[in-house]
Structures are given as C-alpha cells and as structure tokens.
Amino acid sequence: MKKLITMAIAFSLIFGIFIGVGNEKASAAPAPDLTSVRITGFSVNGTKWETIGVNQSKAETPVTTTDTIYIRVLFTGYPLTYLAYSNDVNLSHKKVINYQTTPVVDSNKIVTGFVYYFKVESSDLPNDSITIKGINQLGQIVNGNTVSFDRE
C-alpha cells in the first residue's frame, strides 16, 4: 500500500510538471527608440578615463600625434549603427572602431541603451575634435556631442 501511494504521488508530480511545461507566456516590450548619443569618457591609453561632463566640450587630457584615442559613448535607446566625424569630416568604420559594447540595464533588468567603446588613431583625425552620431531604427540621425582636445 505504501508503495502504491508513493508511486501515485510520483506520477502526479511528474504529470504536473509536464502539464506546466509550455504554458509560460513570453512577452517582449518594443525596443526603445534611440533618443540621445553622448560622449561620456575620453582616454589616450584605454585604462585611465577622463569623464566628460554633460556641458563639457573639451577634454583636459592632451593627445599626441602617435596616441590612440579611446572614447566612451552612451546611446540611450537602440542604435542601428553610428557615424563618426572630425569637424564635419566623415570617418569610416575602418578608422573609428567599436571594440566593446556594454548594455545599460534598468532596475527591472530591461536594456535601455548601450555604452560603446571606440578607438581611433590620433593621426586619422583631420582635426582636434570628434563627434559620434547615432542612427536609429528608422534610419534617422541622432546628433551627439562634440569633444575637442589639445595635441602636443
């Protein structure tokens, strides 16, 4: 009798598990539109970062012609891609390389944007400034800030 009850309980647990499988509903919110693009960090070695404030237009870190410049850019929303400029001169993706991307997650564990890390050789910039722009899912350009710097 004890064996029969144990088997009945085991059967009902297994049967209950299989009934529950597949009944979960998955739902996804639409990806948030790209609303802003902002350079938030600047570095010449990729390890020691200067934070670029909201109203800051010039990096305090000096750059030499042989330096590799690293910039950290916050994309709020989902970018389709990006454009890089140096004083209105369009730079190709071959020159400005996205070498790392980190998602920005809110308290509900929903991705609200991305931090892109870019690097570019100082010698590839025709001027002493860089601007990153984003392109949203509709192909529209979202302007970002420009950060200038001094070359030594």
pLDDT level of residue 61 (50, 70, 90 thresholds): very high
Tens-place pLDDT, residues 71-126: 999 999 999 999 999 988 999 888 999 999 999 999 999 999 999 999 999 999 99
Whole-angstrom distance, CA of residue 121 vs CA of residue 55? 25
- How many other C-beta atoms lie within 10 A of the C-beta of residue 119? 16
Tens-place pLDDT, residues 17-56: 445 555 544 445 677 899 999 999 999 999 999 999 999 9
- Scored b (16 or more CB within 10 A) or e, 95-112 reads bbebeeeeeeeeeeeeeb
Total-model pTM: 0.79
Better-predicted residue by pLDDT, 103 or 12: 103
Whole-angstrom distance, CA of residue 73 vs CA of residue 75? 6
Q: Which residue has the tokens 């020691």?
A: 48
pLDDT at residue number 16: 47
Tens-place pLDDT, residues 121-146: 999 999 999 999 999 999 999 999 99
DSSP code, position 125: -
Return the SS3 of 35: coil
